[in-house]
Every structure is written in structure tokens, then in C-alpha cells.
Amino acid sequence: MQITGMLWGRKLLDLVEFTHSEVRGPELSVDEIKDMIKRHGQIFIKPVFKG
């Protein structure tokens, strides 16, 4: 089985206690993004396209 997308695959990785990066969904606010940058120094934001 191939799992794509950390937004959904993260739940399965949590289930088997496999380490992964911090993944947040589209509900993230600007203040939460700023807090993540403060904690980690830099972050990668991947755009989500629905169509």
C-alpha cells in the first residue's frame, strides 16, 4: 500500500508510533504559523490545490 500526503498519512504513522515531521492542516492561522517559525527557525508551507 502506498500512502501519499502527510496530512492524512500522519494519522497512520501516529498509529504505529513512527516518527514524522510536524504536519498541520489548512486550518492553521497566521499566528500559529508565526509561532511555528519562532519554534523551528524555518518552515515549509506546501499549497493545497483542490480542483
What nine digits make up the cell of 32?
500559529
Q: What is the Cα–Cα distance from 49 to 51, expressed in whole angstroms?
A: 6
Residues 10-35 pLDDT 10s: 888 889 998 888 888 888 899 999 99
- Alpha-carbon distances of 29 from 4, 15, 26, 34, rounded to whole Å: 24, 26, 8, 9
Domain parsing of the chain, residue ranges:
24-51
Is the pTM value of this prediction over 0.85? no
pLDDT at site 39: 92
Side-chain half-sphere of 23: how many Cα atoms within 13 Å? 15
Comparing 3-7, 27-31, 42-46, the range with the smallest average pLDDT is: 3-7
> Which is it for the CA torsion 28, 30, 31, 32, positive or negative?
positive
